[in-house]
Structure 1
């Protein structure tokens, strides 16, 4: 199994976290440092984008599709609840995280200068407003880590690099972030570039 990945791509980070959490043996191919691999990936996917996963004859792209496949292909530890109601609730929250917060993160990353101010403010306010969602369980709406947490962790890791400091306004979120980033699997998922994102922002 091989994952074509980019060192600082938030979508790739989602997949690398799931791979590390499940302890899956995978070759991480950094397309930014390997021109030949970048050419190979361009032939594998119609969008020529990372992340792209190759598992024997199967080629998958889109972080969400890849992560759901990994969770079903390697069911231990499970990253979604068993019952359909809980799964549906988490999927809906996941959808909102991607549609709202990830969209704002993309705007921040693409913006220059003061153009990042508006999406930065929206993202900070959105996270603070959601603080109560993180109050009653170790992970989002669950006592066990889920695919939603594996999506939130890369986003929250990048907050300092986005110029966002939650301060004391979202204590439950702050505790949640610490639980996520202290996991050995999350630490293993980080690239050197991602570690430097936070070090350079400090």
Structure 2
């Protein structure tokens, strides 16, 4: 049910990587994970002798290692803009999500995410994806959050209808559908 793991699985399926995805949910899995990842957290990618354990690094590594289809622009300025947007998503929205269950901060956190999504509406009226007309890593990281909006109790107002249309484009991608865990598939129907 991890947003970060979901994003990494989207990249794996977008790139059509042959791999084994292991879902962790018990102490035995955590012990094995601790042997390869000093932080004992998911997602973790093991590629031969390399272990990568940050979701942003995992997705960039996969994009560089398997360049087709590209999920990052080629020029340095556009790549920097994409990375900045991913950092903002993580700092502003993903961090807010962690506060949803907090007794006093939950409503404020939901407002942060809702208002943030409303603020990207004008961008999405002019282009298919957040960084332009091509699907990118920014969209990869935003898709799991959008999928979980009903679970979080966030309903977008009419002025952000374009965000719902954008979400539908993301959800209709084969890689997105393939990347859903059993628990994530059930989220859509809550």
Q: TM-score, normalised by structure 1?
A: 0.89
Q: Please state if 1:194 is matched with 2:187.
A: no
Please, which of 59, 73, 76 is the counterpart of residue 65 of structure 2? 73
Kindly report which structure 2 residues correspond to 1:87-166, keeping only aligned pairs within 5 A, or say none: 87-108=79-100, 111-112=101-102, 115-166=105-156
SS at match of 2:189: helix
* Residues 20, 186 of structure 1: 8 Å contact kept: yes
Instruction: Say what the alpha-carbon RMSD is for the aligned residues.
Output: 1.4
**Aligned-residue offset at 1:141:** 2.0
SS of the equivalent of 2:7 reads helix
**Structure 1: stretches of 5+ with no match in the other structure:** 1-7
Residue by residue, what CA displacement relative to the aligned partner does 1:138-169 show, whole Å, maximum 9, x if unpaired? 11122111111100000111111000010312
Compute the displacement of 1:114 (Å).
5.9
Match of 1:83 in 2: 75
Determine whether 1:27 maps to 2:17.
no
- Answer yes or no: is the 8 Å Cα contact 2:131–2:138 preserved in 1: no
- Give the whole-Å Cα distance in 2 for the aligned partners of 1:31 and 1:177: 27
* 8 Å Cα contact 2:92/2:112 also seen in 1: no
From 16, 26, 51, give the equivalent of 2:9: 16
How far 1:37 moved relative to its partner? 3.3
Superposed displacement of residue 102, structure 1: 0.9
Q: Distance in 2 between matches of 1:117 and 1:67?
A: 31
Q: Which deviates more from structure 2 when the two are superposed, residues 138-147 or residues 62-71?
A: 138-147
Q: Deviations over 1:112-143 (max 9, x none)?
A: 55642111122111211221122211111221
SS of residue paired to 1:199: coil
The more displaced of 127-136 and 149-158 is 127-136
**May I ask how many residue pairs the two structures share in their alignment?**
190
